[in-house]
Structure 1
């Protein structure tokens, strides 16, 4: 039987970064000329896709790569203060012990993710980590990983917390498990028709068996 490979998103899926990212985004709002995120607006944004969020915020598409770079740079100073999502560490260890191959694809920096995983003693669980700047999706990065690691799409499962994760996985023809504990709301995720939608990391192993 072919060994399954599970690729995880990082922000909001493994690491509880939403609050820190919102705080950083609000500090940068004046510099990059977009609206700050109030608690009420955060609730609204959780129900929108990435494209809808960018339109709503008013940020220029030309500024987004520079904004991403600045956010990742500021997050670096907080990375050891962040915690894994409750229950994720146990789920990752269980998946590893069951023989699943684990990896990470992230739009965060490789340095930030590596430091976080090392700090929380999670780095040994992952076979690979790929980082790339993406605005709307990760399809290109996923396809590059499949090619470089010589993985067949039917053996790969993607786990993410945003609508763009679902969209990217579908375009790459791999199964996708959406998780409701990150950025996008369960309702927004469900609209994108993921293969599975789960609400706690303890559900991961049982759902992976069904993929």
Structure 2
């Protein structure tokens, strides 16, 4: 696997990659499903949770019963609830250390996320926000590719010299659409079985530091 310091730009997804937010997401999920009359996930059933973690975003939305009409309302309400609980969301220390180390090598580091800027700022704090050269927030759940292209364009960096680190299948699809490299992390929302056999992945945050 190519060392991260050999890239000119490393982009991180936020929830599930920079943060350990999945437990908080599970804790607020019933409020979302109840409010919009969606499929009720038994978050205490490990088998059911892992089934959802093995699915891509489109299949998850279909299973939950989220229609195109409901989608923007579901996303907005979920974002609001996550923001309410942002004090309970833990940063992954190794990711912050990795971003600092990459920056010291002269590598540009960025975040691209569907989460709001206020949420990201609250979780990161002013000090850790300053590590990143750019933060693209509030991206639509299927709109990361265009934001990634824009980040690369503003940085003057070609796709071959950029990589996205993310925890979801839609992150991999966005990286492919933006023609940049991708590596998955397995401490977030999707599990290993959701990615294809050729997807490079990191099992633990410590593995990220080893890849610097």
Matched, 1:204 2:208: yes
Residue 123 of structure 1 corresponds to 129
SS where residue 144 of structure 1 aligns? helix
Q: 1:107 aligns with which of 111, 114, 125?
A: 114
SS where residue 159 of structure 1 aligns? strand
Kindly tell me the number of residue pairs found equivalent between the two proteins.
Answer: 205
- Give the Cα separation in 2 of the matches to 1:45 and 1:171: 24
The superposition leaves residues 80-123 of structure 1 with CA deviations (integer Å, 9 ceiling, x where unpaired) of 2211125323323322333321100000001100121116x421
Summarize the Cα distance change of 1:150–1:95 in structure 2 as closer, same or farther, 3 Å threshold: closer
- Give the Cα separation in 1 of the matches to 2:101 and 2:205: 11
Residue 20 of structure 1 corresponds to 24
Query: What's the TM-score once normalised by structure 1's chain length?
Result: 0.88
Query: Quick check: 2:115–2:137 contact (8 Å CA) kept in 1?
Result: yes
Aligned CA-pair RMSD? 2.1
Matched, 1:193 2:198: yes
Residue 158 of structure 2 corresponds to 152
Matched, 1:43 2:50: yes
Summarize the Cα distance change of 1:3–1:178 in structure 2 as closer, same or farther, 3 Å threshold: closer
Matched, 1:161 2:167: yes
Query: Quick check: 1:6–1:102 contact (8 Å CA) kept in 2?
Result: yes
SS where residue 91 of structure 2 aligns? coil
